[in-house]
């Protein structure tokens, strides 16, 4: 099974802050020969630098804390993530929770105060729209159930 994965969850330093966010339980799965992870960072693929100003979804737009509109880069990165998933034949995606790109089901509310609202990041929404199941690291058990059933 091929699985699209947020590159920051592997510890790659692609986050806005210039660091990674390694998710330790992934390490065991990386050793399995039947699972193939395809790393992606939609924000970098959309052309944004690292580090970069933090951004949050505000309705259909994505804005930085100082009001810069980075929607175009987020949309481009989401399209590239979908294309990568298609090229590599990914059957699902494991993405970083709450990110304006990768968040699934819950994202920050656009006030940069840590408040959360229901919703998807731009890339997660695009992948779901393409019929690719999306999980995040905070729903690890559901992800494990899926790869067990589908693998």
CB of 80 to ligand SF4, least distance (A): 11
User: Which positions from 47 to 86 touch ligand SF4 by CB under 6 A, shown as an x/- string?
Assistant: ----------------------------------------
Stretch touching ligand SF4 by CB under 6 A, among 4-12, 58-66, 82-90, 135-143: 4-12
Stretch touching ligand SF4 by CB under 6 A, among 2-10, 60-68, 85-93, 133-141: 2-10
User: What are 47-52's contacts with CB under 8 Å, separation 24+?
Assistant: 47/73, 47/76, 47/77, 48/73, 48/77, 50/13, 50/14, 50/15, 50/16, 50/18, 51/15, 51/16, 51/17, 51/18, 52/16
Count of residues interacting with ligand SF4 (CB under 6 A)? 12
Distance of CA 36 to the CA centre of its chain: 17
CB of 99 to ligand SF4, least distance (A): 4
Peptide bond into 39 cis (omega under 30): no
Among candidate residues 118, 124, 104, the one with its CA nearest the CA of residue 40:
124
User: Which positions from 95 to 134 touch ligand SF4 by CB under 6 A, shown as an x/- string?
Assistant: -x--x-xx--------------------------------
Is-contact 47 75, C-beta < 8 A? Answer: no
Q: Give the footprint of ligand SF4 on residues 14-43 (CB under 6 A).
A: 14-15, 41-43
Can you give the binding site for ligand SF4, defined by CB under 6 A?
6-8, 14-15, 41-43, 96, 99, 101-102
């Amino acid at each position: 099974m091929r699985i699209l994965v947020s590159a920051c969850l592997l510890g790659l330093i692609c986050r806005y802050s210039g660091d990674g966010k390694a998710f330790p339980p992934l390490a065991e799965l990386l050793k399995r020969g039947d699972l193939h992870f395809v790393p992606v960072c939609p924000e970098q693929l959309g052309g944004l630098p690292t580090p970069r100003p933090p951004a949050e979804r505000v309705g259909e737009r994505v804005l930085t804390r100082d009001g810069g509109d980075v929607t175009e880069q987020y949309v481009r990165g989401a399209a590239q993530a979908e294309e990568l998933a298609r090229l590599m034949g990914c059957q699902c995606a494991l993405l970083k929770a709450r990110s304006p790109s990768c968040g699934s089901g819950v994202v920050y509310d656009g006030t940069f105060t840590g408040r959360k609202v229901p919703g998807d990041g731009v890339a997660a929404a695009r992948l779901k729209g393409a019929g690719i199941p999306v999980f995040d690291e905070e729903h690890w058990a559901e992800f494990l159930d899926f790869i067990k059933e589908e693998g």
